[in-house]
Amino acid sequence: MPDRELVSSHYTHGRLVEAIAEGVGRLGKTLDEVTVADLAPVDEFHVGGRVATEAFLDQLDIEAAHEVLDVGCGLGGASRFAAERYGCRVRGIDLTPEYVATGNTLCAWVGLAERITLEVGDAAALACADARFDRAFVMHVGMNIADKAALAVELFRVTRPGGRVGIYDIMRTQPGELAYPVPWAASASGSALAAPQDYKAALEQAGFTVVAERNRRDFAVEFFARLKARAQEGDGPPPLGIHILMGETAPQKVRNMIDNIARDLIAPVELVAEKPS
């Protein structure tokens, strides 16, 4: 069962702002010129990147007047996408201090600091008022949270009546021994995978009604195939990408992820739920 320190240390890089700034420079841009789209390859740390974010968040019917919560925001890539695309205000929380500090810096670079607040926090014990948010989403976070029931209860508590929440996580599809390390854990001790039915049971017990479910395994297979093809065609990694976040073990983590999905042991799955009015 992963604990807070194990999860936070797994994601800590050490010089993330500097590494991303160097990547921006290799794109031929200054920090004043960089855009949300430019940062997407590095700050969308989940299967499918920006394409997956758009397909997922569009299901939540986010409007400009909405207050939105990004649980496990990482560097805040999805928060920035939501603020720019929908015009909403976003609050993001994450366990890893370096991710939060870096994310706030990136928000300032692209001129979104006034609409986005990122802070250190625990998804299972949110420091937010009851019924504060119109929408909430969780992207590739539950794999590090053992207590899915506590996560669902907190999401229900902070969501307004009639609000909608979305979860896009790597979930267990069949039993079997997984290959490690993977992007979210160096070993099984840092992983807390669960099946879609476990997530749905937690959401429903908390009071939500699950209104949509989509297994994205085929999408993931295609995504990794394209990623591999680009890597083989290119001369080294791109200026900005998730390899910056995963460090030297990035190739092994990606290979294991592909293998685990190919064996149909895991898959990225979307769930959308509503809180009764």
CATH number of the domain within which 149 lies: 3.40.50.150
Q: Which domain holds residue 170?
A: 4-274
Confidence of residue 9 (pLDDT cuts 50, 70, 90): low
Using DSSP, state whether 165 is helix, strand or coil.
Answer: strand
223 closest CA partner among 90, 105, 47:
47
Closest CA to 71 of 15, 141, 1, 12: 141
pTM above 0.85, yes or no: yes
CA distance linking residue 220 with residue 101, whole number of Å:
29
Report pLDDT digits (tens) over 157-191: 999 999 999 999 999 999 999 999 999 998 999 89
Residue bearing tokens 């990408």? 241
Q: What is the pLDDT of residue 230?
A: 76
Residue 51 CA: distances (Å) to CA of 205, 206, 274: 31, 30, 23
Is the separation of the CB atoms in 163 and 274 below 8 Å? yes
Q: Which residues pair with 247 in a beta bridge?
A: none
Of 211 and 249, the one with more pLDDT: 211
* Domain total of the chain: 1
Q: Give residue-wise pLDDT tens across range 99-137.
A: 999 999 999 999 999 999 999 999 989 999 999 999 999
Region 232-250: mean pLDDT is 78
Contact 256, 183 (CB under 8 A): no
Distance CA 5, CA 17 (A): 21
Q: Which pLDDT score is estimated for 5?
A: 61
d(CA 216, CA 218): 6
- 16-26 vs 36-43: helix crossing angle, rounded to 10: 130
Cis preceding linkage at 181, omega within 30: yes
CB atoms within 10 A of CB 188: 13
Q: Please give the Cα distance from 268 to 161 (Å, whole number).
A: 28
Tens digits of residue pLDDT in 41-56: 889 888 999 999 999 9
